[in-house]
Chain A
Amino acid sequence: DAGITQSPRHKVTETGTPVTLRCHQTENHRYMYWYRQDPGHGLRLIHYSYGVKDTDKGEVSDGYSVSRSKTEDFLLTLESATSSQTSVYFCAITDYPSYNEQFFGPGTRLTVL
């Protein structure tokens, strides 16, 4: 199994508070992704990174920011959490030559009250 961990695995927070989710990989893969999974929507890309300090927006990036200061860590921050951000968040990684084969972490279940 690809070495990907996510922390925390579960979090309950209140509306308006900042939240940071962490994805850590031991595979030295360049590409990292944050998705959210919601019933009826499948997986939607929030942000992704193609290297240290290189990030870009996905289809549902509003209300989220990311940072990648080291190859192994990709942080997702909700600056001011809202109830609509209650979701399960997945991190994924990939690299050459199989860019299209993504390996997923176990997920973080976030509840915003």
Chain B
Amino acid sequence: GNSVTQMEGPVTLSEEAFLTINCTYTATGYPSLFWYVQYPGEGLQLLLKATKADDKGSNKGFEATYRKETTSFHLEKGSVQVSDSAVYFCALEHRDDKIIFGKGTRLHILP
């Protein structure tokens, strides 16, 4: 069945460092892929998405490219800020009405 695997955290970086959070998926067909972010004490919110192979989703300086050949959707940011500290969830569309989430990666950014 469909599933998502993302790197375990926590990930700790210094401000202005380059960020990569790895995500791979298993799916039948070509589902849409997402990154959601959860700031402390809040619910999840959509960060970016890609709906087909080679699409690049981007938002708030974050990017992820839908790689069919490697079944990956890695999240990247060139220069992280303290305010990026949060939990990041990779996810994929399952049928038309459900989403399967990865286990989440906690990111700590040190000033």
Contact = CB atoms under 8 A, between A and B. Distances in A.
Interface of A: 4, 31, 33, 40-43, 45, 48, 50, 58, 90, 92, 94, 99-107
Interface of B: 32, 34, 41-46, 49, 89, 93, 96-99, 101-104
Nearest to B105: A42
Chain A contact surface mostly: strand
A55 to B, nearest CB: 12
6 contacts: A33-B98, A48-B98, A58-B98, A100-B49, A101-B46, A104-B43
A7 to B, nearest CB: 14
Contact of A31 (B32, B45, B97, B104): B97
A94 B44 CA distance: 13
Contact of B98 (A42, A45, A107): A45
A3 B10 CA distance: 31
Contact of B45 (A42, A58, A94, A104): A104
A100 B34 contact: yes
Given A102-B99, A104-B43, A106-B41, 9 more contacts: A33-B98, A43-B89, A43-B101, A48-B97, A58-B98, A92-B44, A99-B96, A104-B45, A106-B42
A100 B101 contact: no
Contacts of B41: 106
Nearest to B51: A100
Contacts of A105: 43
A103 B36 CA distance: 10
Contact of A90 (B34, B43, B93): B43
Contacts of B42: 106-107
> Which residue, of B34, B96, B103, has the highest number of chain A Cβ atoms within 10 A?
B103
Contact of B44 (A45, A50, A99, A104): A104
A107 B22 CA distance: 26
B83 to A, nearest CB: 18
Contacts of B32: 100
A42 B89 contact: yes
Contacts of B103: 40-42
